[in-house]
Structure 1
Amino acid sequence: MKTRQAVTEALADTALELFDTAGFDKVTVADIVAAAGISQRSFFRYFSNKEDVVFGDRIPTAEEVRDELRRHLGGSPAWDALRATFQAAAHQMDADSGRWKRATRVICHTPGLRARYLEKHLAWTEAVVPEIASRIDPDRPDAELKAQTMLNTALGCFDVAIMRWADSGTDQSLAALVDEVFGFVQIPHT
């Protein structure tokens, strides 16, 4: 007998394949359950809606991002810590690259899902900016502005890397691509 996690993953894989092939908005729950060979009632035991199939628990919470950043802030400048934080996320995504590439393509090519993903960025910003600002110099009047600029630049770098990784046929790991993209940006050490 399959565990709940295995069924959830199999159902998500079926749905993501349909979304990636036909487009998120064109695929219905009825299409998903027909392809998976389950009832709609069973679908709703695992997911509350189609969006949850894409996001599930894939996207880290603001607290998880903040905690990962804290692990890297100890002896590193803020920009280097941000780079290491996003590389850690990239390594996790590389470990399950097929599923992540498909989910990323679906998110990036569906405006409503992209908006939901950007809401996550806003939550990350609220959690992470104070951490960065406190490392810059909390007494500087521009510390928060500098921290916001750094974080939004890092988020932009990460987005460029994941979109390129998901949409291209490259065998390059996401972690390597994140490192490359972050390397294009020169941030003075603070």
Structure 2
Amino acid sequence: MCALYATDGSDVFTGILPREAESARAARQMVDKAVADWGLSELAETARLVASELVGNAVVHGKGSSIRVTVARVATDRVKVAVVDLSLQVPQIARTDEALGESGRGLFLIDALTPRWGVDEFRWGKRVWAEVAPPPEEQPVCEIPMWHTIAAQAMYLAALLAVMSALAYGFATQ
């Protein structure tokens, strides 16, 4: 594993690992190191899960003897975890019934946990990536009915008076 700077100046940790299940542990360690260095420890749990799932998919469906794992800081509060392998097969999210089985949950989970993920295709293989960001802040729910404001009450009263006047005029002209 080594720390680099991308051409755009962003921080990047990357490493070439054997295409085997044990490499998921090394990928998680890389994530831990990266997010700790960047002061983004709140992203660690999700980023570790994403790294494990991406490495797992590359081990099962990839080709070649090695994979490249990259953790890049793409914003002040966001990281991108990516795994490159030599397979041309583009991964698909499992259908809901398949995702409930013993395998096939990787991209289903990544899609649920991250704001963006994707696949970059190359002549010789692909890079599968996902961005990890803090969860969105919950917006407070306003439980005050709209007629509790003075303006709303005035509009309601004006509409009610208009309807009553129209009805009274209608009855008066008959």
Bigger share in helix = 1
Whether the TM-score (by the shorter chain) exceeds 0.5 is no
Bigger share in strand = 2
- In the superposition, the TM-score normalised over structure 2's length comes to 0.29
Greater RCO (CA < 8 Å, at least 6 residues apart): 1
